Structure 1
């Protein structure tokens, strides 16, 4: 007897919105952890690296929840995470972790901005907020990584190395982003290049340990790389390019155009890895021998989503930088006016004392 089993390709469950969320939440957590490290290690009130990293994290943490909400297909589904909380679900815990993380980052940024504008140290407040944001960032990284790595249906994802790999690919973008953000202060380039070099080495180590394993995830990853050599080689080429640029930048200061090229390469590595892991692996067979073809649509569930979120991020960056600059100008003008009033009042008082002295002498 001949039996025919019919199978049909499965639709893609995770949309490009998920890639955008993983990208921006990785930038936000990495920026917060970098700012926390600067706060705990230096505790200087005027630390440009801490302020720039935190401002960068704020811009990313605004965009990330919007992308996640769009990936849920129906925005009303957010309510179900709170109305029907399930402790065994990482996504349910994420519905608590993500709003808390967003609020803590915003409070940290506002407190640091107030401290800079008013020239008040606020060491205890800022240090406490830094620690809270650091722990909250770790919870976000854990939730984001584990909601993917627990899926047995996707062998490539089912690995404890995946959360660490995702974090390190985002962490390596922070040094070149800060170098671009502080392009008028090139004295920080050498230290930032050293940070990036160390991170790239750690990223390579984690990747080698993951790929060389003897589990289902490592075997699936090696099988995928053998069948898609060009796609697998693309992140490796970017990694080699970034490693070479970090070594050069460690020794000498790079021009602003080279730094821009460096940050574009770092962002491309971070984003492309997420696309390959989250989108391309969904096309691989899961329950049958059929591949699941996917073509990027041009609408809001495809290319428009990618372009729109990046455009929103650029708009938030411009608004944040200009808003901070406007506040600095307002406070500096207030200081000038108050100092002029103080000087004029002192002159008036001294003039009155002089007149009184002359009258008394006469």
Structure 2
């Protein structure tokens, strides 16, 4: 009997943890932008208008922190210049280099208009920001789903899941901010956020059911890959069941706001849980899927480095968000927004 040993080369991860941070933060920024634009056009007594301090704070923090993660993921400080000097319109990454600065500029402009009390500017900027937000949602989703070598990425439901989990994380971020801003103690605002969270969670559940149903009926490559991973690797089975349990718990909490809406500690815990779940989805999508060989069997074991390309970099980004949040809360207390909302 002849024994043949097959060796599979170990490849370095193309997407580093910086990418997880970027897609997480820019996703929250798109959700906060939608809520801020809603508040800019809503009547003064509407919960969306009352929640503007929360929306604007979250939008400002994530719109400034997201590009930092993206620049770090490019590995070279000046690499972003190549996107402009050698523009390639068939590359979503190159197109994103034009879309992202416009989104950041409009986001910060809307925050400034709200702070200065310029409702006319707010509505004009929010209209442009809505279009810019949709462009970011499309570009970030397409950047992943166009990769044909990865069946778990190359399916139309990935952009939808990225958008829905991002907007759900934005609601979670507003809940976190509500623990420190007076607007967050309004019962109408808490109930409004609960309805948004419940609707987004239900939409995610519906998308998962549709993906599974079409996968069973059409035997799609992404469903084939997912079932193989579930059958062969315990870590993927554990991740799936953990997601199911966590999703069920979050759905129950959204549907019963009286259990958390009047407790800052529980509100903070719910907001952190929702945001962590959205971040975990991106970690599994980027780092977990990269551990699946494009050709062959088995899994690549990713060992996260402790330096700037790994743990310290991730902690640094969250530290940046915390610093921006502290600065924003101080500015809102020291120089209150002039807007009537």
Decide whether aligned partners of structure 1 residues 89 and 237 sit closer, same or farther in structure 2, where only a CA change above 3 A counts: same
Deviation by residue 1:169-213 (Cα, 9 ceiling, x = unmatched): 111123343233233424121121111111100011112212332
Structure 1 position 328 matched with structure 2 position 331: no
**Cα pair distance change 1:100/1:53, threshold 3 Å:** same
Q: Which residue of 1 aligns with 2:326?
A: 318
Q: CA deviation at 1:296?
A: 1.2
Cα deviation, residue 2, structure 1? 9.7
Kindly indicate whether residue 224 of structure 2 is the aligned counterpart of residue 222 of structure 1.
Answer: no
| 2:265 aligned with 1:260 | no
Q: Structure 1: where are the runs of 5+ without partners?
A: 116-121, 332-362
CA-CA distance at 1:251 after TM superposition: 7.8
C-alpha root-mean-square deviation of aligned residues, in Å?
A: 2.2
* CA apart distance, 1:218: 2.1
SS of alignment partner, residue 238 of structure 1: helix
Conservation of the 8 A alpha-carbon contact between 1:17 and 1:68: yes
Task: Report if the CA contact (8 A) 2:172-2:275 is conserved.
Answer: no
Whole-Å Cα distance in 2 between the matches of residues 43 and 81 of structure 1? 43
Aligned counterpart, 1:77:
79
- Give 1:355's aligned residue: none
Which residue of 2 is the match for residue 56 of structure 1? 58
Matched, 1:291 2:293: no
Greater relative CO (CA pairs within 8 A, separation 6+)? 2
Q: Which moved more, 1:1-10 or 1:66-75?
A: 1-10
Cα deviation digits, residues 291-327 of structure 1 (max 9, x gap): 3221111111111111111111011111111112211
Note the C-alpha offset of 1:235: 2.0
Question: In structure 2, which of residues 56, 65, 68 is the aligned counterpart of residue 66 of structure 1?
Answer: 68
Structure-2 separation of matches of 1:10 and 1:71: 17
Other-structure match for 1:34: 35
Residues 257-315 of structure 1, C-alpha deviations (whole Å, 9 max, x = no match): 11011011101110000000000110111023353221111111111111111111011
Who is 1:178 aligned against? Answer: 174
Q: How does 1:102-251 map to 2 (within 5 A)?
A: 102-115=104-117, 122-183=118-179, 184=182, 185-187=185-187, 188-212=189-213, 213=215, 214=218, 215-226=220-231, 227=233, 228-249=236-257
User: The residue matched to 1:279 in structure 2 has which SS?
Assistant: helix
Which residue of the partner structure matches residue 357 of structure 1?
A: none
Q: Which residue of the partner structure matches residue 338 of structure 1?
A: none
SS at match of 2:9: coil
> 5+ residue gaps in structure 2?
none
TM-score (norm 1): 0.84
What is the CA distance between 1:107 and its match in structure 2? 0.6
Q: Quick check: 1:8–1:290 contact (8 Å CA) kept in 2?
A: no
| Cα distance in 1, alignment partners of residues 88 and 321 from structure 2 | 32
- Higher Rg: 1
